[in-house]
A and B are shown apart, each in its own frame.
Chain A
Amino acid sequence: MDWEMLSHRDLLETLLDTTRDVLPIVLIIFGFQYFVLRQPVHNIKKILIGLAYVIFGLSFFLVGLEKALFPLGELMAKQLTNPEFISAAAHHAIGNIQWQDYYWVYIFAAAIGFATTVAEPALIAVAIKANEVSAGSISVRGLRISVAIGVGMGIALGSFRIVTGTPLHYYIIVGYVFVIIQTFVAPRSIIALAYDSGGVTTSTVTVPLVTALGIGLATTIPGRSPLIDGFGLIAFASLFPMITVMGYAQLSHWRNKRNSTSNEKPGG
């Protein structure tokens, strides 16, 4: 059976790894709870069961990704960045490939950035919290989609940067300037959340696939070094969600305002 690949050992190893990740956190929390705050943990049974869910859930999630989606995603990144594929899709000879000929790479980058972000568990967590705190005015789905659009745009632009070989810091600095300008015009209540959404997008699902894409590009394009140019996609993926989340807030703010002014008009 092919499923031999998904052996018990893989699952056990991942379970151990996840437990090792959770352990320092649990030690710090319970240590402070008992020695500093000096009070018993409220509802300890429920918390422990919940932690078990977290450990098992994350382990299943990782094993599934590593055994199924990551190898395929990495293979696809390799296939799409292969010069033979590019030249065939663009009807150009291999030595004559221009940056435009990588269009399938840009589209794939945007699509995979979007899709992996929608499934990112850390983002789901933040969206649930934001929905709770904003008393429902920020929808879980709306926030996740705007972050995902940001990541998609970021990864596509980051791929373009690797193809053209332009310096990373120019893009990031321009992005910062954009974020700063938006900070002054966006509704105040969204700013902290927007800044946070940059950091949460890139954890379990997005990083490995995006890294594979970056390294695939940097390896196949002449004159790029995978070690130097392969980096930087994650930086794009953390920058652009800030822009799109603030944009989303500005858009809904503007729409609400327009609706309320048109409602005030008689018969409007």
Chain B
Amino acid sequence: MKQQLKLFLNAMVESTRDLLPIIFVIGFFELLIIQKPIPRLQELLFGTLMVVLGLTLFIKGLKMALFPIGESMAYAFARKGSVAWLLLFAFFLGFGTTIAEPALIAVADKAATLAADAGAIASSEASRENYAYGLRITVALSVGIAILIGVLRILRGWPIQWLIIGGYIVIVILTAFAPREIIGIAYDSGGVTTSTITVPLVTALGVGLASSIKGRNPMLDGFGLIAFASLTPMMFVMVYGMLV
């Protein structure tokens, strides 16, 4: 018990160190540059303590649950040897984790307002909601397809750079044709799709697959799933902007 407490305290200290830069930056700018008193200091301290505790618990849970789940799924699929089921799983994992992502919901609502302002859709509540919902489905589909392609790449051992560079070229071409107001959102949507829970799971899945398949190197082939998941939403959102 004493040992456990000591480990936990060590982890808390580690998390505090992770947060120090933020505290330092905010303190420096607030006190020396802006030179206004910090409002609600007590609340700030309490909130920071919550953040430290939360980060500590999350990292513990990461090692206990998210990593082992991703890895054991990878091994189980590799043993079963069914590519079709694995690809279906990859698609569902990408689609399912993205469709409910809060950051995506916020971005989709903003995009709908933009499209209405630009006159691309009617500015009624219903048509905006429709647009936002369509956009969310589009992005979720794109992430599902991204994880599917990424897993297929690990199975086949395709070099990642050709796929990613090919993706960049497609994005550059699409940029030339997409409506101007959607470009910023499209570029940003690549970043918002990969949530804090999805990233560890998907990374463990990729590394697990690459380690259990003969001839694959976990370092060369195991990473890269996240890269696909941040690339395809940009393409799909621009195409959505062109079609709707």
Chain A contact residues, CB within 8 Å of chain B: 2-3, 5-6, 17, 20-22, 24-25, 27-29, 32-33, 36-37, 39, 41-43, 46-65, 67-69, 72-73, 75-76, 79-80, 85, 104, 108, 111-112, 114-116, 118-119, 121-122, 124-126, 128-130, 133-134, 168-169, 172-173, 176, 179-180, 183, 188-189, 191-193, 195-196, 198-205, 207, 227-235, 237-238
Contact = CB atoms under 8 A, between A and B. Distances in A.
Contacts of A67: 43, 46-47, 50
Contacts of B18: 118-119, 124
Contacts of B183: 168-169
B185 A193 contact: no
Given A79-B34, A125-B62, A60 B57 contact: yes
Contact of A57 (B26, B59, B77, B191): B59
Contact of B21 (A43, A119, A176): A119
A57 B56 CA distance: 7
A56 B101 CA distance: 18
B215 interface: no
B134 interface: no
Contact of B68 (A47, A201, A229): A47
B67 A112 contact: no
A235 B190 contact: yes
Contact of B201 (A25, A62, A192): A25
Contacts of A3: 42-43, 46
Contact of B100 (A20, A42, A228): A20
Interface in B8-24: 18-19, 21-22, 24
Given A28-B89, A192-B222, A21 B195 contact: yes
Contact of B34 (A32, A62, A80): A80
B53 A195 contact: no
B49 interface: yes
Contacts of A115: 21-22, 24-25
A57 B99 contact: no
A83 to B, nearest CB: 14
A64 B220 contact: no
Contact of A192 (B63, B193, B227): B227
B92 A54 contact: no
B61 A54 contact: yes
Contacts of A25: 93, 96-97, 197-198, 201
Contacts of A111: 25, 28-29
Nearest to A171: B187
User: Which 4 residue pairs are nearest across A and B when measured between Cβ atoms?
Assistant: A68-B47, A50-B65, A50-B64, A53-B61
